[in-house]
Chain A
Amino acid sequence: MQKRRFNLHTILEKRVLTDSTFVLRLEHNGLEFTAGQHIQVGPPNGIHTREYSIYSAPTDDFIEILVREIEDGVVTPALKKLEAGDSVVVNDAVGYFTIDKEVAEGKQFLFVASGTGISPFHSFVKAFPSLNYTLVHGIRFAEEAYERHHYEPSRYVACTSRDEKGDFHGRVTDWLTQNPLNNDTLCYLCGNCDMIHDVYDILEKQGVSSKNIFTEVYF
């Protein structure tokens, strides 16, 4: 049996993005993955791990994850305390929220994320530099538009629900309703279940076939 292995990876760098959200850059250690896959990560001395989409691209010589602390959570408060030089346990990358290389060229993509659900899209955009995409990001405050400089400004829409400093004031569902899309767009939805559920409905109403909708539910 090919057991999943847990390996120790040293933290090379920690980038703090907001009070609660940070990026951990880890040693690569030969971890193979396809953009969009996730790994299980946990503090080195505990028995608990959680899933994290890989934020970096397969060609990078490090692995990154984007983490938001859940205050009463088990793993994220422990991860938040770690610094460069500490290590985490990581296991094999798995998951099917990926883009076929052959279709990456020439297709129109819609990425819809809530919060840290932007992570696999960050990896896609790095992995496929000529991707024709629009990324709609649902957040509460504009400061949660994590590392938005990474995306072409015309392709990234921060939908802020609690302030008006984003590109669009309201929820991603409102933006999608006001901006109907071509029904042959490939749609990738990532983040919380309720957002995905609502967006799925809107896309289907706009004529997108469920074969062209891919989901990654975080919680």
Chain B
Amino acid sequence: MKVAFKTLGCRLNQYETDALAAQFSGNGYEVSEQEEGADVVVVNTCTVTNQSNQKSRYVISHAGRINPGAKMVITGCMAESHAEQLQKKFPEATVINNKGKSGIFHSVDSLIKTGNADLSDKDFDLFSYQSFTEMFHTRSLIKIQDGCDNFCTFCIIPFVRGRAISRPVEQVLQNIREVVAKGAREIVLTGVNISRYESDGVKFSGLVDKILNLEGDFRVRISSIEPDRFDDHFFTLIGHPKLAPHLHLCLQSGSERILLQMRRMYTVKDFMEIVDRVRAVDPKFNFTTDVIVGFPGETEEEFEETMAVARKVGFGHMHIFKYSVRQNTRAQRMADHIPDKVKTERSKRMHALAEELTANYRAPFDNTEQRILVEKWSDGVASGYNDYFVPMQFTSVNKKRNRFEVVQARVKDFEEA
């Protein structure tokens, strides 16, 4: 029996797919990311933008076309927000919401064995995914939190992921001990809003501190994080040899007024203060980010303010989103929505800047000695990311993946200016 997984959207979705795949694999199923020849296709959807909805629909249709005989399971945030529409459009599919996601193995197993998906309304634990090391990714994603209560005015996630909830400290530590014992070299902390982590009085920085003090040869990467809850304790961890010097710190806008309209819980000044405090310890520290261009009411000057902040920080990478309306969010009801033409034009300018900044950030790493976690080997070239999350490559006869190597390396696909 072969189960194919198609995943859209964020790291948390990736984590959940990987964990499910590991569970199928551990129970004798063949798992793959290719739908060809699969008996079951699980599509883990995303709904964060209109584009994500379109992509999710496309992936489902495409998988159905390639493999018309396969049973289709649709889950994830779009299955939460658009369950009825999806069921109508794909009547043969089994649609499972986020709550039932961690129980998909049981549903599919019963679907295959009895012809009926067991969708009993059990309250599956959001953290009951099994621990695993390598599934589809070399990095070991660890879920520490789910849900969000921030309700940024543009965002649909709080509606589809539910209330903020943190995984108990000991469960997180145990999960990491297990994957490290199985050979994981990079731990990526994921969740919907991990800066709000709090369990038994332990806040995010306290948790990271405990993780860094676990034994083993691994590095910890903090995935996407909101800049709204950094305490002094956090800054004392910067420079720790096990903490990867990289943060994906979500800016969204460089305009104070737009940040207020977005109901974000930090100011541009707060953001810059974090950057400055961290770079005072490690000047090469990599900041990557998300920005939204064309939020309702965004003036040309406010857009320029975001460009200016991006230049000032020198982001190593930027995810740029053209603002897209999400149903029933406050931003949908705001005045002065920006015409698509203007959003596209701003997006182009931001992309051009992002490319320039990425190249600038990466240049000093080229041809230097770096510690690289090898993820791929092909034709005598090993590649992977260094501690700073710069993609690097070097010639090597050693085909082994998932190993650290300290070596003189080139930045991948680097073109000298």
Among candidates A1, A51, A200, A215, residue contacting B162 with C-beta atoms closer than 8 Å: A1
Q: With A and B bound together, what is the CA distance between A196 and B267 in angstroms?
A: 12
Our count of residue pairs bridging A and B at CB distance below 8 angstroms stands at 48
A94 within 8 A of B: yes
B163 near A197 (CB under 8 angstroms)? Answer: no
Looking at B107-115, B145-153, B317-325, B371-379, the stretch in contact with chain A turns out to be B145-153
A193 near B257 (CB under 8 angstroms)? Answer: yes
Among candidates A1, A96, A215, residue contacting B146 with C-beta atoms closer than 8 Å: A1
Q: Is the interface of A mostly helix, strand, loop or mixed?
A: mixed
When C-beta atoms are compared, the residue in chain B nearest to A74 turns out to be B333
Give the size of the chain A interface in residues (CB under 8 angstroms).
18
A92 near B163 (CB under 8 angstroms)? Answer: yes
Residues of B within 8 Å of A1, CB to CB, are 97-99, 126, 146-147, 161-163
Q: With A and B bound together, what is the CA distance between A204 and B267 in angstroms?
A: 12
A217 within 8 A of B: yes
Residues of B within 8 Å of A193, CB to CB, are 257, 260-261
A195-219 contacts to B (CB < 8 Å): 196-197, 200, 204, 210, 215, 217, 219
B260 near A210 (CB under 8 angstroms)? Answer: no
A2 within 8 A of B: yes
Residues of B within 8 Å of A149, CB to CB, are none
Q: With A and B bound together, what is the CA distance between A215 and B261 in angstroms?
A: 11
B108-164 contacts to A (CB < 8 Å): 126, 146-147, 149-151, 159, 161-163
Q: With A and B bound together, what is the CA distance between A94 and B146 in angstroms?
A: 15
Minimum C-beta distance from A206 to chain B (A): 15
A1-38 contacts to B (CB < 8 Å): 1-4
Minimum C-beta distance from B161 to chain A (A): 7
B126 near A215 (CB under 8 angstroms)? Answer: no
A200 with B256, Cβ < 8 A, contacts A1-B126, A1-B162 known: yes
B269 within 8 A of A: yes
Range for the number of chain B residues in contact with chain A: 20 to 34
Q: With A and B bound together, what is the CA distance between A204 and B146 in angstroms?
A: 34
A180 within 8 A of B: no
B263 near A217 (CB under 8 angstroms)? Answer: yes
Interface 0/1 of B314-343, CB less than 8 Å to A: 000000000000000010000000000000
A95 within 8 A of B: yes
A197 with B99, Cβ < 8 A, contacts A1-B147, A1-B162, A4-B162 known: no
B149 near A94 (CB under 8 angstroms)? Answer: yes
Minimum C-beta distance from A213 to chain B (A): 8
B270 within 8 A of A: yes
Q: Could you tell me which A residues sit within 8 Å of B by CB distance?
A: 1-4, 51, 92, 94-96, 193, 196-197, 200, 204, 210, 215, 217, 219
Q: Knowing that A3-B162, A94-B163, A217-B260 touch, tell me 16 more A-B residue pairs with CB under 8 angstroms.
A: A1-B163, A2-B147, A2-B165, A4-B159, A4-B162, A51-B330, A92-B163, A94-B149, A94-B151, A95-B149, A196-B260, A197-B260, A204-B269, A210-B269, A215-B265, A219-B330
Q: Could you tell me which B residues sit within 8 Å of A by CB distance?
A: 97-99, 126, 146-147, 149-151, 159, 161-163, 165, 256-257, 260-261, 263, 265, 267, 269-270, 330
Question: What are 30 A-B contacts defined by CB distance under 8 Å?
Answer: A1-B97, A1-B126, A1-B161, A2-B147, A2-B162, A2-B163, A2-B165, A3-B162, A4-B159, A4-B162, A4-B163, A51-B151, A92-B163, A94-B163, A95-B149, A96-B149, A96-B150, A193-B260, A196-B260, A197-B256, A197-B257, A197-B260, A200-B256, A200-B267, A204-B269, A210-B269, A217-B260, A217-B261, A217-B263, A219-B330
